[in-house]
Amino acid sequence: MHLDVRKSKIFGFNFFKFIRYHIENLNIFCVFHPFKIYEYKELVRDVKFSKNDIILDIGCGNGLETLLIGKRCKKIYGIDIFKENLAIARYRAHLLKKKINSEFKFTTLEKAGFNEEFFNKIFSICVLEHISNYVEILKVSYKILKKGGKMIFSVDSLQNITDKGFINYHKKKFNIKQYFTKENLKKELAEIGFRKIIIYPIYKSEYTKNRFMKIMTNIRLFNYIMSIFEYFVLKKKEAISRDKNTGLVFIVKCCK
């Protein structure tokens, strides 16, 4: 069906210009999910990027966050084991090839063949909980990081959920191999050789916990406006829960 461009203009709003703008000016609100928006902002908070950085994203998925990071560096690599996700990531990368230098690979980290001390930074966004041999991933990451390089990642903990039925559901539904504690993570990272280890929880408020449980049992897509609105609600609720020590997810930042 042909759509007349003139009919897409309503009160000065042009739908096609809107879509093109968000392709060419990629931003985190394109995720359409308030939880992922908040998580990404926490991951990059206080991280100093350089235009000379070479960065890796482990478990890059559809590549949106990967490319957002790629806007800040010389080159970004994304790896994943799901071809469907990589197809979307590569399509996005093609659209942005003049602005972002990126490369996506269908591989595990162990088989990727990256040289030692190759990356300035390594990111991973809620991936390690799905990997049984996550310690090996951390060890390989340490090897391929440059001295002084940073590893920045998030992992599931679900420490503020006491409903065992929901925990079992979540673990089975999303193929979770393990949930993490701050103490174990810090110990394992230190044993590998990481230093300046910072670990803190996010999604600490009752509001966020209840929304998470509802969304996980009734998966739905957020629209653009609602995702932005709910992000700001979530952000406000998290701000007043600042002093709590448990949350749904840990943010981890450490150096080689």
Residue 3 lies in a domain: no
Low-confidence ranges of the chain (pLDDT < 50): 1-13
Which amino acid, 86? Answer: L
Is the residue at 17 inside a domain? yes
Number of separate domains in the chain:
1
Is 212 domain-assigned? yes
Q: Is 118 inside a domain boundary?
A: yes
**CATH for 175:** 3.40.50.150
Q: Supply the pLDDT for residue 150.
A: 98
pLDDT in tens, 9-31: 444 445 555 555 555 566 666 66
Assigned domain for 8 exists:
no
Is there a domain that residue 6 lies in? no
- Give the structural domain span for 199: 13-255
Would you state the pLDDT for residue 235? 92
Question: Which of 65, 63, 58, 68 is CA-nearest to residue 84?
Answer: 63
Contacts 24+ apart (CB under 8 A), 168-174: 169/216, 169/217, 170/216, 173/216, 174/130, 174/216
Q: Would you state the structure tokens that stand for residue 65, as one six-digit string?
A: 């966050």
Q: Is residue 1 part of a domain?
A: no
Prediction pTM value? 0.88
CB atoms near residue 79 (< 10 Å):
22
